[in-house]
Structure formats: structure tokens, C-alpha cells
């Protein structure tokens, strides 16, 4: 095999990338060869001359980063890995097979050269935003972040959110490459080959723009040299390409998206491209620089807070971020222009060099958080809980990325009061419970909020979400109270309990009021603060079910998918577990938000939703009958 050095050999490599993209998709019987072929010349130049990457140490923080935002072009990405010896030809031919590392769209962890999962379009550039911010402002490293974008995904608003933020932060280490091949899944894109219009838009968003022929090796090389030399702005290279380029059957033809060539067609296409190539390259390795070690947070070193009066859990969230940041330098906080309401600004004022304002760009914020987390930063991202719903696909993809990302949603439930339903998160618990491997926490008071935020900072097991309350709430716990992810606290308990009240967050106090009223009526009930909704404390719930037989679950959330459903799930059989619950399913009554409410005081709205102490007492009498 020859080592790539000359332009003509890069041309040969580009043909090999096209051929291998055809071969592996034909073998798989599915995939996207034509979307890979359009960018093969670009990637051949990048790999052979410009990318600095140590494939023997893919997790090195000095490596350049390469993100295929058009993740369906994974056959090209995997062909790149083969060309530099990171994977074998045999593995390349396992594309899309069950158990293969080479899935239909790239995912990290199983394939160490992949930093983030892509394939849901419009997400690669926001994730690259986080990586570029990390390189320029946190690690102060000189690596470049290359992102291959498809022209269809340029219709996604998240791309433009990321472009706005990239120029705001002057990310000259970010190089976006647009594979402008004109054809989307069902035909021509809205802009087609109008390179000038793309350039005008990118320039308006503060990018340095370069227009090239994406199949001209010299133009590609010159553009990458220019992009790397730029020290003022992020760069946007607009490469005019042909989908399915190099093969008469597919070049610039519709109805070839996501369609492999059959065996006969593949044979002819490979022959037209000059036959199977045997090019291998040695990728340039980055210069090693000393970076601080990312030590795990020692919670014992974090100064705990003291509370003597009512406090809102949203404000304690900010207080706790600040005290963790005092001792933990590997932490970054991002917020969507509501940091004076989420109180993330407390971290900002103390550690401004590690706080990044994402403005009202929730999708870009979540993508940025995933990018930062992929490079070992402990990241907290916050906004109003209702607004996380618009970035839900990023949260979903964050789970597929195996991202350790901490989210805070404030202003949850009808208890926010007069702002009205557009600001009320009433779906967020259900939304976050549905994320694979997620953690969902809901503190009721200042101390529980402080302890749970600390636990999140040290958890590092997927997507973690904490729901915070707008209103100030009374103190229930103290600084020495122990909390665990997956735990709960039984606040009231006796041997005569006839029923269990289960609450979390704001409704804990309604449950405690109801307890006092019922006690005055000689009715004993148990009260559980279910601060960890996922994972849930099955031991405490099964004990309560065995001893009381009846539950009332009270929550400031829509009835569907909320805490009540989480409680019921704790009693279902798990087909993947050998442990069979011995407790029969208790009677469960759900007090939850069942209608849209308007503006009003928190008290009025909670009463309207029938989740106050008065309604708990009434429900108790009905259930005990």
C-alpha cells in the first residue's frame, strides 16, 4: 500500500472512499452511498493534509474533532477510518449488521473515534459549538473542530442558532463545511446550488465564507488552508458538489437518497471509478500539550450552605452551582438568557470564565452542552422547564451520545402563578422519564435542592434533570440530611397508617398540611417525599403498599406520565429482572393537573387543579370509604 502525499494520490483516495461507500452499503443492503460520494473529495483532502488526529489515542484532548452532522453519510466516515487503518476492510463490510460497531448513523462509546451521535439533522453544528468553546476558552487548546453539514439540514433553525453563537464567541477554531449537493431526500433543496445565497446568509451571521468546487482538490486544499489561518471568525466553506458523483448511474440523479446499488450496479460503478483502490494514509498527529487532569469532584470539599428561612429551590440551584464551582474547575454552566430567574447567574458572577450565555437558543444550548460534555466537562444547562420541550430531540440525542449532561428546569407547574400556561412546565417529568438512562429529581426545600445538585455534579451517568420551584418554600430538612439518587424520605409514619400520601416538590407541603388536618380527625396517614422520581425508591413504596394498601399521589404536573405513573411503574413486573415484587399493587388515586388553567395566584391555580391540602383530605375520605 502507498502512503498519500501527492495531489494525484489524494484523488485516488477520494475514489477509494466512494468505492468503499458503495461496497459497504451494497453489502448491507441499505444506507446512503450517494450522500457519501458527494463529500468524498473534501474528506480525502482533509484527512490526508489537514486533520491532526492520533488514532491510537482517540480520546486525546489535543486531537482535532471531526463531526459528520449529516450522519447518514456514515459510510464515508467509516471509509475514512479504514483508509487510515483504524478499522479493517472486514469491519467496514459489517456496516449496519447487528452487533457491528458501524451502525447506520455514527454513535460514540462503541466506536471511540466518534465524539457525538448524529443523524438527527441540524445537531452537529450545535455540538461542535460546545467543542469549539471548550478548545478556545476552557482547555485553551489549539485544536480545530471540523463539521460536515448537508444542505438539507440548513433548513433547521438549530443550525442558525449555533452559527449566531459561534460568531458571538468568535470561534475561529470552528470550520463548517457545507456539502451543497443540491438534492435532499425527495428532490431539490429550497436553495439548490445557489452558493451565493448561502454565503450571504453565513456572512450575515458573522462567518468568514469561502465558495469552492467541492470536487476540485486544489480548491478544497486552498480553502482549508485559508480557514485554518483565520484568527478572527468561524469559517463556513460552501462546497458545490454532485450527489452520487463519479458514477453515471447516480450522479445528480433523484431517487437515489438512502438507496444502495445492487450487486450488478455496484460492480459497474466500481469499474467506472477505476476499480478497487488500496490507498492508506498516515494521519498527522497533534502536538501534545499539558492539560490539567480532570479529577472527580470530592463532595467533602464543597462548603455546605445554611438556611434559616424559606427559600426557592431555583435560587438554591444557583447558590449550589457557585459553591461547587469554587472547588471544581472542570465545571461549566450554560443558560438560555434566563439566568437571573434560574439563578445560574450566581455561578456566572463568581466564575464568569466558565459561564456561557446561550441567549434564547435552547436547541443550541443543549447541543453545546453535549459538545462540552463529550470533552469531559461537567456541564449544567438551565432554562424554564417549559422551554426544554423545544429542545427535546437534543436531549434524546444526548442520551444516544452517552452524554453526561445535567439539566435544570425552573418555573415548573401551575404553582408559578400569573404567567399562565405558556410558561408552566406540566409535561417535563413525563418527557424526562422517557429518556433512556435518565435521572429525574424534584427537591421540595433548600437543603434537598442543595444536596441533589451536588449529587448531580458527581453522578456522570447519562442525562440528569432537576425540577425547581419558583416560589419560596419552608425548610423541611437540614444540612446533614442524607440524600441519594434513587432514594426518598418518609416524613410522617406510624404503625396505624391507613393510607400513604406521596408528593414531590411543591406538593410536599400540601401533603404535610393534609397530614395535620387528618391527624386532627384521628386519621393516620404516611407522607413520603419522592424527591427521586427516576430512579424511584421501590423499597419505600413497596413497604408503604404492604403496610397501608392505599396511595394518593399529589403532583403539580399533568396526570399523563408524571409522578403517579412513575409510582405505578414501581409495581410492574420487569421481564429483564429475576426479582419479582412480592407486594400486591396498592390502590392508587392520582391528584394531578387535569385541565389547562390560566393566570392567577399560585394558591388559586393549585386549588383550581385540585392538588391542595383541602383536596387531599377530601380524596382521603373518599378512598378510605
pLDDT level of residue 581 (50, 70, 90 thresholds):
low
Whether 3 has a pLDDT exceeding 60, the answer reads: no
Torsion angle of the four alpha carbons 136, 139, 142, 147, in this order, in degrees rounded to the nearest 10: -70
Q: What is the mean pLDDT of residues 49-64?
A: 96
| Secondary structure of residue 204 in the 3-state scheme | helix
Just list the catalytic residues: 362
pLDDT at 585: 87
Task: Name every residue whose Cβ is closer than 8 Å to that of residue 575 and which is 6 or more positions away in sequence.
Answer: none
Cα distance between residue 471 and residue 508, in whole Å: 13
Please write down the HEC assignment for all residues of 171-191: CCCEEEEEEECCECCCCECCC
Cell of 289: 500539550
Please give the radius of gyration of the chain, using alpha carbons only, rounded to the nearest integer: 27
- Report residue 4's pLDDT band, with 50, 70 and 90 as the boundaries: very low
- Which pLDDT belongs to residue 116? 98
Three-state SS for 471?
coil
285 pLDDT band, cuts 50/70/90, is very high
The stretch 446-463 carries a mean pLDDT of 97
pLDDT at 297: 87
Full DSSP string of 351-372? -GGGEEE--S-HHHHHHHHHHH
**Closest among 541, 547, 550 to 569, alpha carbons compared:** 541
Packed helices 7-28 and 263-272: angle between N→C axes, nearest 10 degrees:
180
- Is the pLDDT assigned to residue 45 strictly greater than 70? yes
The verdict on domain 302-473 having CATH code 3.40.50.970 is yes
Residue 176: strand pairing partners: 147, 236
Residue 582 pLDDT class (50, 70, 90 cuts)? low
> What residues form DSSP beta bridges with 406?
380, 464
- DSSP for 494-562, written as a single string: -TT---EEEE-TTHHHHHHHHHHHHHHTT---EEEE--EEES--HHHHHHHHHHH-EEEEEEEEESTTS
Please report, for residues 16, 17, 25, 216, 519, the alpha-carbon distance to residue 275 in angstroms, rounded to integers and kept in the order given.
9, 12, 17, 21, 85
Model pTM?
Answer: 0.96
Summarised one tens digit per residue, pLDDT across range 63-107 is 999 999 999 999 999 999 999 999 999 999 999 999 999 999 999
pLDDT-wise least confident of 148-157, 165-174, 487-496, 568-577: 568-577
Fold: same for 2-280 and 302-473: yes
Q: Lowest mean pLDDT: which of 195-209, 478-492, 520-534, 574-588?
A: 574-588
Instruction: Enter the C-alpha cell of residue 485.
Output: 439518587
**Which cell numbers hold the place of 438?**
435518565
Degrees, nearest 5: CA angle 481-486-489: 40
* CATH 3.40.50.920 describes domain 489-624: yes
Quick check: 2 pLDDT over 90?
no
Grid cell digits, residue 511? 401533603
Instruction: For residue 334, give the nearest of 311, 302, 368 by alpha carbon.
Output: 368
Cα–Cα distance for residue pair 332/329, rounded to 1 Å = 8
pLDDT band at 578 (very low <50, low <70, confident <90, very high): low
Confidence tier at 618 by pLDDT (50, 70, 90): very high
Determine the angle formed by the axes of helices 157-168 and 124-133, rounding to 10 degrees. Answer: 20
What is the rounded average pLDDT of the residues 157-174?
Answer: 98
Closest C-alpha to 567, from 437, 445, 440: 440
Residue 584: predicted pLDDT: 79
Q: Where along the chain do its domains lie?
A: 2-280, 302-473, 489-624
Answer whether residue 364 shows pLDDT above 90: yes
Phi–psi pair at 434, nearest 5 degrees: -75, -15
Q: Is the predicted pLDDT of residue 190 greater than 50, yes or no?
A: yes
The position carrying cell 466537562 is 377
Mean pLDDT of 398-417: 97
Query: Which stretch of 12-16, 95-99, 450-454, 576-580 has the lowest confidence by average pLDDT?
Result: 576-580
CATH superfamily of 2-280: Thiamin diphosphate (ThDP)-binding fold, Pyr/PP domains (3.40.50.970)
CA dist 121 and 439 (Å) reads: 26
CA distance 524 to 190: 66
Res 9: pLDDT: 87
Q: How many of the other CB atoms lie within 10 Å of CB of 336?
A: 24
pLDDT at 292: 72
Average pLDDT over residues 458-470: 96
Whether 35 has a pLDDT exceeding 80, the answer reads yes
508: nearest Cα among 384, 600, 417, 611: 611
CA distance 202 to 154: 11
For residue 486, pLDDT beyond 70: yes
Q: Residue range 206-234: average pLDDT? A: 97
What are the distances in angstroms from CA 265 to CA 22, 76, 469?
A: 10, 19, 61
Q: How many CB atoms lie within 10 A of CB 393?
A: 15
Residue 93 corresponds to which cell in the numbers above? 463490510
pLDDT of residue 446: 98
Please, are residues 366 and 399 in contact by the beta-carbon 8 Å criterion?
A: no
**How long is the chain?**
625
- Asked if residue 579 has pLDDT above 80, the reply is no
Average pLDDT, the chain: 96
Amino acid at each position: 500500500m502507498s502512503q498519500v502525499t501527492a495531489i494525484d494520490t489524494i484523488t485516488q483516495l477520494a475514489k477509494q472512499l466512494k468505492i468503499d461507500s458503495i461496497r459497504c452499503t451494497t453489502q448491507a443492503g441499505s444506507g446512503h452511498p450517494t450522500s457519501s460520494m458527494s463529500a468524498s473529495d473534501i474528506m480525502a483532502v482533509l484527512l490526508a493534509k489537514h486533520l491532526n488526529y492520533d488514532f491510537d489515542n482517540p480520546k486525546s484532548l489535543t486531537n482535532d474533532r471531526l463531526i459528520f452532522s449529516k450522519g447518514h453519510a456514515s459510510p464515508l466516515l467509516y471509509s475514512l477510518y479504514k483508509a487510515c487503518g483504524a478499522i479493517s476492510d472486514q469491519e467496514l463490510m459489517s456496516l449496519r449488521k447487528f452487533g457491528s460497531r458501524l451502525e447506520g448513523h455514527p454513535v460514540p462509546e462503541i466506536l471511540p473515534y466518534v465524539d457525538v451521535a448524529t443523524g438527527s439533522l441540524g445537531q452537529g453544528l450545535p455540538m461542535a459549538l460546545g467543542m469549539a468553546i471548550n478548545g478556545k476558552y476552557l482547555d485553551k487548546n489549539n485544536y480545530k473542530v471540523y463539521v460536515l453539514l448537508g444542505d438539507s439540514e440548513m433548513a433547521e433553525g438549530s443550525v442558525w442558532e449555533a452559527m449566531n453563537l459561534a460568531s458571538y464567541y468568535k470561534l475561529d477554531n470552528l470550520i463548517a463545511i457545507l456539502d451543497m449537493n443540491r438534492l435532499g431526500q425527495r428532490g431539490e433543496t429550497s436553495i439548490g446550488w445557489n452558493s451565493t445565497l448561502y454565503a450571504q446568509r453565513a456572512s450575515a451571521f458573522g462567518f468568514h465564507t469561502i465558495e469552492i468546487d467541492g470536487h476540485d482538490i486544489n480548491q478544497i486544499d486552498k480553502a482549508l488552508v485559508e480557514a485554518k489561518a483565520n484568527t478572527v471568525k468561524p469559517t463556513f466553506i460552501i462546497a458545490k458538489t454532485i450527489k452520487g458523483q463519479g458514477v453515471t448511474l447516480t450522479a445528480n440523479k433523484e431517487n437515489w437518497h438512502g438507496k444502495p446499488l445492487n450487486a450488478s450496479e455496484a460492480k459497474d460503478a466500481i469499474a467506472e471509478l477505476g476499480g478497487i483502490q488500496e490507498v492508506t494514509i498516515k494521519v498527522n498527529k497533534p502536538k501534545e500539550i499539558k492539560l490539567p487532569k480532570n479529577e472527580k469532584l470530592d463532595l467533602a470539599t464543597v462548603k455546605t450552605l445554611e438556611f434559616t428561612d424559606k427559600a426557592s429551590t431555583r435560587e438554591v440551584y444557583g447558590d449550589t452551582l457557585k459553591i461547587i464551582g469554587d472547588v471544581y474547575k472542570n465545571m461549566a454552566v450554560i443558560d438560555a438568557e434566563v439566568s437571573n430567574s434560574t439563578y445560574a447567574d450566581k455561578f456566572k458572577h463568581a466564575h464568569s470564565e466558565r459561564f456561557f450565555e446561550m441567549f434564547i437558543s435552547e436547541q443550541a444550548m443543549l447541543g453545546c452542552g453535549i459538545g462540552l460534555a463529550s470533552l469531559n466537562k461537567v456541564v449544567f444547562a438551565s432554562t424554564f422547564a417549559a422551554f426544554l420541550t423545544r429542545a427535546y430531540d437534543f436531549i434524546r440525542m444526548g442520551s444516544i451520545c452517552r452524554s453526561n449532561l445535567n439539566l435544570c428546569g425552573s418555573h415548573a407547574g401551575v404553582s408559578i402563578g400569573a404567567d399562565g400556561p405558556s410558561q408552566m412546565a406540566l409535561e417535563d417529568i413525563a418527557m424526562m422519564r422517557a429518556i433512556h438512562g435518565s435521572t429525574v429529581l424534584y427537591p421540595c426545600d433548600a437543603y434537598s435542592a442543595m444536596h441533589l445538585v451536588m449529587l448531580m455534579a458527581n453522578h456522570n451517568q447519562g442525562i440528569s434533570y432537576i425540577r425547581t420551584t419558583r416560589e419560596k418554600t419552608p425548610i423541611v430538612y437540614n444540612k446533614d440530611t442524607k440524600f441519594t439518587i434513587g432514594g426518598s424520605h418518609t416524613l410522617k409514619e406510624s404503625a396505624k397508617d391507613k393510607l400513604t400520601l406521596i408528593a414531590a416538590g411543591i406538593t410536599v407541603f400540601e401533603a404535610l398540611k393534609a397530614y395535620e388536618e387528618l391527624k386532627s380527625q384521628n386519621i393516620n396517614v404516611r407522607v413520603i417525599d419522592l424527591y427521586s422520581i427516576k430512579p424511584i425508591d421501590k423499597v419505600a413504596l413497596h413497604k408503604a403498599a404492604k403496610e397501608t394498601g392505599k396511595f394518593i399521589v399529589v403532583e403539580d404536573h399533568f396526570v399523563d406520565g408524571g409522578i403517579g405513573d412513575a409510582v405505578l411503574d414501581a409495581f410492574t413486573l420487569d421481564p429483564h429482572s429475576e426479582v419479582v415484587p412480592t407486594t400486591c399493587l396498592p390502590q392508587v388515586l392520582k391528584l394531578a393537573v387535569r385541565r389547562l388553567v390560566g393566570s392567577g395566584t399560585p394558591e388559586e391555580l393549585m386549588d383550581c387543579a385540585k392538588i391542595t391540602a383541602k383536596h387531599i383530605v377530601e380524596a382521603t375520605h373518599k378512598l378510605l370509604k
